[in-house]
Amino acid sequence: MMPWYWGYYAPWDWLWMALVMLIFWGGVVALVVWAFRGFGAPRGESDPAIDALRNRLASGQISQEEFERTKRALQG
């Protein structure tokens, strides 16, 4: 039987290969997730003033015309 240092892999080399493969594929998956989150539509970003205005419209405190006029004023 030939020793491992004569061109054959050492018995523990498969652990290093598996670890490198896991790191590589983990990096690929992390890159894909980062890309989808970074280039996707922003979520949860809303204007508190517009939200309050919508709540007032929903509760009947203001009319649709007042809502539209105030919304235009708030948006610039």
pLDDT digits (tens, 9 = 90+) for 30-49: 999 999 888 876 666 678 88
Give the pLDDT of residue 41.
Answer: 62
Could you tell me the residue ranges of all domains in the chain? 47-76
Give the pLDDT of residue 74.
Answer: 87
Q: Using CA atoms, how far apart are residues 5 and 11, in angstroms rounded to an integer?
A: 11
DSSP designation for 9 = P
DSSP designation for 19 = H
Kindly give, in sequence order, each residue whose CB lies less than 8 Å from that of residue 75, ignoring residues fewer than 6 positions away.
50
CB neighbours of residue 64 within 10 Å? 8
Which residue, 52, 45, 58, is CA-closest to 70?
Answer: 52
Give the pLDDT of residue 14.
Answer: 80
Give the pLDDT of residue 46.
Answer: 76
Residue ranges for the chain with pLDDT beneath 50: none
